[in-house]
Structure 1
Amino acid sequence: MTTYLTIGDFSRATHMTVKTLRHYHEIGLLEPADIDPQSGYRRYSTEQIPVAQVVRRFRELGMPLEEIRSVLTAADVRTRNEHVSAHLRRLEDELESTRRTVAALRDLLGPPTAAGDGPAIELRSVGEVRAAAVTATVGVEDVGAWFQGALGELFATVAGQGLRETGPAGGVYADELFTLHRGQATVFVPCDGPVRPVGRVEPLRVPAAELAVLEHVGPPSEVDRAYGALATYVARHELAVDGPLREYYLVGHRDTPDSAHWRTEVGWPVFRTRVDDRSPVAAQPGGDRRRARESR
């Protein structure tokens, strides 16, 4: 024999508010076992208590209502566990993102870095290189998606034309992209032969430049700290010149999906007035690391 509870008693039994139970009824997640046709009062069966407890526990764990519905209606245990595992992976990703944010905030709240103990900045002269490139005028809100699409197209084109990559992929970004949040951006892949234009890909000779270079480790969303450190260094020690900023992508999405391990060299154009023994002339971006990878 089925035993019914009023919505108030069911609320006390499941630790769900009456408002929540009404909402779950409206969206079809947890419907009453019976509704009085005269009064409209909702009644729940005692057999629904375990289901309600599962729903409440998953909500406490941050699972969206639609996913809870998928868990409850899963055809078998394996399918149900796949939904739970997917939510667990999202929680782990969010936790890692939160950890990086906390670390960045701690750095901002900490004391300034003492002179001589800051990030390693290298003065570098880079030579002209032949490359396959994609160039467009983009807004800063779209540059991430545009960058990933362009880079994928470049790698596919270089491989499809039987060319050999001769260095890490790079980017050249006009000042307007930073000052006006809209400007010209170029992504390129250095390669050893003539590039046949196809789609958005065009051949390009990336010009020689003198750069102050700093390596950033982590996701692109945190690269502004590297730019700030470079700007401070150049203002104090070097003669800045007009010209687009550069980035070289030593380790990226193609190497690992974990953005915490991505490595990007940021280059600020300068006019060098002194020789620095640590700064080889005509060095290739990431040259030592690239040669090490090729030797393995």
Structure 2
Amino acid sequence: MSTRLSIGEFSRLTHLSVRSLRRHHEAGLLVPATVDPATGYRYYTGEQIPTAQVIHRLRELDVPLAAVQRILDAADPGARADLVAEHLHRLEAELDRTRAAVRSLRRLLAPEPAPVRVEVRAVAATSVAAIEADVALDDVLSWYAGAMAELDAALPVLVGPPGGVYDNALFEVGRGHVLVHRPVDDPPRTGRVHPVELPAVELAVATHVGDHDDIEVTYGEVGSWVVANALQVAGPVRETYLVGPRDTDDASAWRTEIGWPVFSVATGPGQSASGSAP
């Protein structure tokens, strides 16, 4: 017969607080071996220690109680491993987002941030093969991946770097028109791919270096330069992916041009605005 352990003894052995043990009992997650009907005291056995330790580790990883219950109830070791892996993937994604936020804050709060070079560039009208749709901001990355894969299949020969045109509403209200494209002299029509003529435009252009986790900082720096130079934004943002995940796994080597269509406050839309800044 197993030796009974008081809740205090069991707490010390498993590093689960008495309060946590009581909560797990109430939730049906870790039920004491016996409960004294007269005193209400909870007693556990040594055989319950491994289960308690598993619960302790899962809760340290912020696994919700309901998910902990599903893991404990899974009879098949493979099913248990899959449930744990699913939560670990979520944790890794959250960790990536946290690291990205830290990098952005460090860049924003640097006492002497490295200046971003901005130039005004006249871009001629360009024929491209494109895929476009109205997309929610949260879905842009997955939509882009699918659209670009379809463009790659339709255009096996690379002519120039791919790009995207992003409607202002995408950032302002969380949903807007997105167009991804690849330059080509004779754009085909196949599936969602169709020809588009991107109009001539003057862009305030800066190059974002590295992955896109802190690309909004570069956006802000371009915007500050536009304001400081008495320019106005005149259309959807253009991005050109000079080097990206399709080219190398080394995120530090990625280069993304951010182009804001602009016009001079003095001259108005459709008239020339030129210049550059370090």
Partner of 1:172: 165
Q: In 2, are the aligned partners of 1:131 and 1:191 still within 8 Å (CA)?
A: yes
Tell whether 2:195 aligns with 1:195: no
**What CA deviation, in whole Å up to 9, does each residue of 1:61-85 have, x standing for no partner?**
5455535863796756x88777777
Cα distance in 1, alignment partners of residues 201 and 38 from structure 2: 83
Tell whether 2:107 aligns with 1:107: yes
C-alpha change, 1:170 and 1:144, in structure 2 (3 Å) is farther
Q: In 1, are the aligned partners of 2:11 and 2:18 still within 8 Å (CA)?
A: yes
C-alpha change, 1:14 and 1:143, in structure 2 (3 Å) is closer
Partner of 2:121: 124
Cα distance in 2, alignment partners of residues 33 and 123 from structure 1: 74
Superposition deviation, residue 230 in structure 1: 1.1
Give 2:7's aligned amino acid. I
Tell whether 2:71 aligns with 1:70: yes
Q: Tell me the secondary structure at the aligned position of residue 262 of structure 2.
A: strand
Superposition deviation, residue 118 in structure 1: 1.0
Give 2:127's aligned amino acid. R
More divergent stretch after superposition (84-93 vs 42-51): 84-93
Superposition deviation, residue 44 in structure 1: 1.1
Superposition deviation, residue 204 in structure 1: 0.8
Q: In 1, are the aligned partners of 2:131 and 2:180 still within 8 Å (CA)?
A: yes
Q: Aligned match of 2:255 in 263, 280, 286?
A: 263
Superposition deviation, residue 3 in structure 1: 1.1
Partner of 1:242: 234
Identical aligned residues as a percent: 45
**What CA deviation, in whole Å up to 9, does each residue of 1:185-217 have, x standing for no partner?**
32222234332152x433211222221211223
Alignment coverage as a number of residue pairs: 269
Q: In 1, are the aligned partners of 2:100 and 2:213 still within 8 Å (CA)?
A: no
Cα distance in 2, alignment partners of residues 238 and 167 from structure 1: 32
Give the alignment's Cα RMSD to 1 decimal: 4.0
Partner of 2:223: 231
Partner of 1:19: 19
Give 1:225's aligned amino acid. V
Partner of 2:269: none
> What TM-score, normalized by structure 2, do the two folds share?
0.73
Partner of 1:207: 199
Superposition deviation, residue 219 in structure 1: 4.7
C-alpha change, 1:57 and 1:258, in structure 2 (3 Å) is farther
Cα distance in 2, alignment partners of residues 150 and 105 from structure 1: 27
Partner of 2:150: 156
Q: In 2, are the aligned partners of 1:213 and 1:266 still within 8 Å (CA)?
A: yes
More divergent stretch after superposition (82-91 vs 188-197): 82-91
C-alpha change, 1:258 and 1:83, in structure 2 (3 Å) is farther
Q: Tell me the secondary structure at the aligned position of residue 182 of structure 2.
A: strand
C-alpha change, 1:208 and 1:6, in structure 2 (3 Å) is same
Superposition deviation, residue 164 in structure 1: 2.7
> What TM-score, normalized by structure 1, do the two folds share?
0.69
Query: What are the ranges of 5 or more consecutive residues in structure 1 without an aligned counterpart?
Result: 279-296
Give 2:104's aligned amino acid. A
Superposition deviation, residue 246 in structure 1: 0.9
